[in-house]
Amino acid sequence: MKNILLSIITATSLVLAGSASAAGELHIYNWGNYTNPEMIKKFEAANDIKVTLDSYDSNETMLAKVEQGGSGYDVVVPGDYMIAIMLKKDLLEKVMPNQMSNFKNMDPKWVNVYWDKGRNYSVPYQWGTTSFQVDTTVYKGDINTLKLLYDPPKELQGRINMLNDMNDVINAGLRYLGYPRCNSNKAQLKELNTLLLSAKKHWRTMDYSTIEKLTSKDVDLSQNWNGAAMRARAQRPELEYAYPKEGFTGWMDNVAVLKGAPNVENAKLFMNFMMDPENAAMTSNFARYANGVMGSEKYMEAAMKSAPEIIIPASAPAPEFVPPCDQDVVALYTKIWTNLKK
């Protein structure tokens, strides 16, 4: 027993002492499987900074953890609406990326966004769309309509996976009915509730693991993010990503610095680094989404440049970025959602 204890203690101290010593540190907290390790190595080598990378599975997990302060993280990568929420809660450091040297590479259309007007707090990491994907050998008609989700034809009934996400399901439903987002109109929501309940019997599952659902042929249609759709198509070429005429959601994850972060200067270096076209392309090649940095295209893989999931056709409506709704709207949505899920 003594020997076991001794060896445990030795092993532990070896591991603890093993961390390399670099001039500085940077603690990044990002979505899982979303950071290119090569890109991190490049950043570490260029700045002599040791990076630690931890992952979360949802915006809300991240928020819960950093809200108390003292989390120790420097950089987080919240979605658009989460940036808005975190700014309201005063959780982000005003690092003025718009004054940084690589800001000139940023696509102007991503500068005056609702969640960070003028970009005083954050820079784009990856952006994409949330729509759905259909097997075109199973359903041969026009796929660019939300009708397929909410009033599906015979061949798709019982073959549908929806995202297990209140906002994605409700917003698509509101678009299908032609009603506005962040809706508190009781009559319209009642109609939405009826629609969802009648559509639900045609849905096989409500699940985030869209790639697995589609490639295992468990379903023939799934709500999906465009990057995931591209991965799913690689294994099931009949899949086609829809750009519904009623509209679809756009989203953007952004690099931001936490208020009171231990390594603010290094975090700023990282922010500027992420606006370099080559580095942004490294992230895109890994995570399979577009990045919002001009000139990054020439470093992207050929498959990315021509992917129908990434390049939005001219005929499609513009993706809609939905701001966080008021508390009372969220309460109404939650009621509908809970009712739908039971």
Residues forming contacts to other proteins in the complex (CB under 8 A) are: 5, 8, 11-12, 15-16, 27, 29, 31-34, 37, 52-58, 61, 64-65, 68-73, 208-209, 211-212, 215-218, 228, 231, 235, 287
For residues 315 and 242, is the Cβ–Cβ distance under 8 A? no
Strand 122-135 relative to strand 112-113, pairing: unpaired
Tokens of 125: 């990491």
**DSSP helix/strand/coil, 250:** strand
Q: How far is the CB of 188 from other proteins (least distance, A)?
A: 30
Tell me the residue type at 175. R
Q: How far is the CB of 218 from other proteins (least distance, A)?
A: 7
Residue number with CB closer to other proteins (91 or 106): 91
Q: Which of 304, 308, 173, 305 is nearest to 248 (CA)?
A: 173
Q: How far is the CB of 103 from other proteins (least distance, A)?
A: 27
Residue number with CB closer to other proteins (58 or 198): 58
48: phi > 0 → left, psi -120 to 50 → alpha, else beta; which?
left
For residues 119 and 256, is the Cβ–Cβ distance under 8 A? no
Tokens of 217: 């042929």
Residue number with CB closer to other proteins (62 or 92): 62
| 155 φ/ψ angles, rounded to the nearest 5 degrees | -65, -15
DSSP letter assigned to residue 115? T
| Backbone CA torsion sign across 51, 56, 59, 62 | negative
Residue number with CB closer to other proteins (307 or 336): 307
Residue number with CB closer to other proteins (7 or 99): 7
d(CA 116, CA 255): 12
Residue number with CB closer to other proteins (212 or 238): 212
Round the CA-based radius of gyration of the chain to a whole number and report it: 22
Q: How far is the CB of 69 from other proteins (least distance, A)?
A: 6
Q: How far is the CB of 104 from other proteins (least distance, A)?
A: 30
Q: How far is the CB of 192 from other proteins (least distance, A)?
A: 26
Tokens of 14: 């070896």
Q: How far is the CB of 88 from other proteins (least distance, A)?
A: 20
Residue number with CB closer to other proteins (56 or 127): 56
